[in-house]
Structure formats: structure tokens, C-alpha cells
Structure 1
Amino acid sequence: MAKARAARLAVDDWIQAGYAVLAEEGIKSLKVDRLCSRLGVTKGSFYWHFADIATYRMALVDAWGASRDEERRHFGTSNDVAPRQRLSQMMTTLVDARHWTLERAMREWARTDEAVAASVRAADRRVVGAVRQAFLDDGFDREEAELRANATFAAGIGFLHLSGPQPASAGAAQRERFLDIMLAR
């Protein structure tokens, strides 16, 4: 069975397995043996797709950055969506149940790996820019929009880390109340 499955594996299968291991067990568990075990294949399948674990980890980082960009691309260009609604969507996306553990794991990994840190910083800059634009669109001047964007982003990261082992439904109400405060004049 492992041979039949190995023939069907694609790079994305390895990426998704890596995300799962990273989110569930952390960076120290992101090893060839662990990935192969999770996918039910031999090391040969891994080495068919990747030269080594370092190459694999870079592919994982690159894929994460690309997926974050794809998910967040609409934040900065949603002119047909009211600024408050855009901000709410951004905060909800950050702590979405599908991604919140991986987001936290990537930020933790970024503390010890400069390539990961660069990817996280680049994604963060794009999000802060979209948040800033929402505040500008809501009528705040540039200086005030910058301040509120940075505070909102920092609070969003805080909400991410305070969410516990899984996102809580009470968190949505807190995030909405936070936006009420940030949009008050």
C-alpha cells in the first residue's frame, strides 16, 4: 500500500504533512522520518521530491508565505467592502481555526530561523499595510492610521497567542469590541 500511495504523492502532500507536524508537534519534530511515518511512505519518496531536509524546510516556508499572501491578497483591494468589515475579516482570518496553530508555529519557528523570520516579516508588512489602508479609508489621517494599524496588528497577534489550545467563540466578540474601540473617534 505504501508503494501505491508514494506514486501519488505530490510536493503539496509533503507540504501539508509538514504543516500538520509543525502545528501539532513543533519544529523539532519536522524530520524526514516523522514526515514519512505520517504519510506512510519510505524516505525514498521524500528524497524524490527534496534534496534534503533543509530544502524541504525552505519549500515549506515558501509555500506558507505564498498561501498567506493568497489568503490576504483581497484585504488591501476590497474597496467594495467597508473598512470596518475588512478589519473584522482580517482579524478573523488571523485566528481562523484552520490556520491558527500553524500561524503560531511559524511565528515560533521564526524566532530561531532567519529565513522563516523574513517570510513572516514580509507577510506581516503586507497585512499592516492593508490594515493601515482600512483606517485611511475610514477617514483617519496618515499618522493616526499608522498608529491604529500597528496597534491593531499587535493586538491581533496577541489575540492569536491568547486563544489557547484552540480558538474560542468568545474571542470573536472580543475582537469586534476591540474594533469598536479602534474605530472610535
Structure 2
Amino acid sequence: MAEEGLSSLKLDQLCARLGVTKGSFYWHFADMEGYRHALVEAWAQFRDEDRDEIEGLREVEPRERLALMMALLARPRLWKLERAMREWARSDKTVAAAVLSADRRMVRAVQQAFCDYGFDADEAEMRANTAFAAGLGLLHMSGSALKGLFGSALKRQTAAPERNWFLEFLLRE
């Protein structure tokens, strides 16, 4: 799904890609709905691992915590799958609920870091939502648009200077 999007959720295409028969598929799943449910659960587990890692930073000083959160979220590990799940969420209420739940958990963690830095709750919420929206925007930009925006920074895995600049921007009063 990460490579081909929603079109990969058709039984014939899925079986061909995995090199399995329809009978083998039905041995593991009652129907496509069962497969889709398992896919959402697997994605949620990946997201929960990321969210747990971020929530585990609670004891880190707020500015450093925000920098670490940004670095963790900028990892391209699951970007294609994340984009595909968000696209799927536009047409499936169950997937939309899973995405919304993961998003809320993330925004709460980022908002708490801004509160711990010294911003009041309203300011922290606005800054957390801004950071999150910027991250979603980057997630959905195509490779050529990203290259035009960030140039050679994309050649480096971390693009730390750009993230640091953005963090400093968000921390301004």
C-alpha cells in the first residue's frame, strides 16, 4: 500500500504482489474487510511505537525534547505508508478514526513540550498545531517540490539545520 496506494487493496493485485493464491489469502483473512482491519491495526502499532518513543522524552528539557520530536518525526521510515493511510482515511471512517487518534496523541505531546518551555496553554496549542501542520505538509510534498524547497538538505538524512531553524522560529515570542 505504501508503494501503490489504495489500488493495492484489491484482492487480485494483493495476491499477485505477495505471490500467494486467493485460497492462501482466505486462510489468513475471512475477507478483504478483515485484511483491511489487520492493516489498520499494523499501522496503528507502528504509529504507537513512534508515539511511545516521543512520550518517553517527557523528562528531557523542553527545547531539546522538541528538537528530538522533530527529528523522530522527520524519519522517512514510514512516510510512504503514512501518506497512503492518510489518503485512505479520506474515504474510510475507521481509518480516519485511527489517524485522528494518532494525530491527537502526537499534538498533545508536542503541546505539552511547548507548555513546559513556558508558553501558556493557548500559545502551546497554536504552536503544536503549526508544527504538526508543517510536518503534514512536508509529508505530502512530492520529491521535486521538497528538493526545490530544501535543496541539498534532503541529501542529508537529518536536515538538522533546517529543523533547528524551524524550531527556533516556533519558540520565538
**TM-score of the pair, normalised by structure 2:** 0.85
Quick check: 1:148–1:182 contact (8 Å CA) kept in 2? Answer: yes
Cα 1:98–1:106 change in 2 (3 A) is same
Q: What are the equivalent positions in structure 2 for 1:13-32 lying under 5 Å apart? A: 22-32=1-11
Structure 2 unaligned residues grouped into runs of 5+: 148-153
State yes or no: 1:90 paired with 2:36: no
1:72 pairs, out of 40, 51, 54, with: 51
1:142 pairs, out of 121, 133, 143, with: 121
Quick check: 1:23–1:102 contact (8 Å CA) kept in 2? Answer: yes
Deviation readout 1:79-132 (Å, 9 max, x if unpaired): 332323332333333332221111111111111111111110000000000000
Structure 1 unaligned residues grouped into runs of 5+: 1-21
Quick check: 1:83–1:134 contact (8 Å CA) kept in 2? Answer: yes
Quick check: 1:23–1:105 contact (8 Å CA) kept in 2? Answer: yes
Q: Percent identity over the alignment?
A: 58
- 1:183 alignment partner AA: L
**Per the alignment, in what secondary structure is the counterpart of residue 48 of structure 1?**
helix
1:84, 1:26 → 2: CA distance?
Answer: 36
1:173, 1:161 → 2: CA distance?
Answer: 21
Question: For residue 22 of structure 2, what is the aligned residue in structure 1?
Answer: 43
- 2:15 alignment partner AA: C
* RMSD (CA atoms): 2.1
- 1:110 alignment partner AA: A
Question: For residue 182 of structure 1, what is the aligned residue in structure 2?
Answer: 170
Quick check: 2:15–2:25 contact (8 Å CA) kept in 1? Answer: yes
> Structure 1 residue 172: deviation in Å?
4.3
Question: For residue 84 of structure 2, what is the aligned residue in structure 1?
Answer: 105
Matched residue pairs, number?
A: 164
2:57, 2:131 → 1: CA distance?
Answer: 18
2:85, 2:95 → 1: CA distance?
Answer: 7
> Structure 1 residue 163: deviation in Å?
5.3
1:119, 1:85 → 2: CA distance?
Answer: 29
Cα 1:81–1:25 change in 2 (3 A) is same
Quick check: 2:88–2:95 contact (8 Å CA) kept in 1? Answer: yes
1:83, 1:160 → 2: CA distance?
Answer: 24
Deviation readout 1:43-72 (Å, 9 max, x if unpaired): 121111100111101111122112201221
**Per the alignment, in what secondary structure is the counterpart of residue 98 of structure 1?**
helix
1:85, 1:162 → 2: CA distance?
Answer: 27
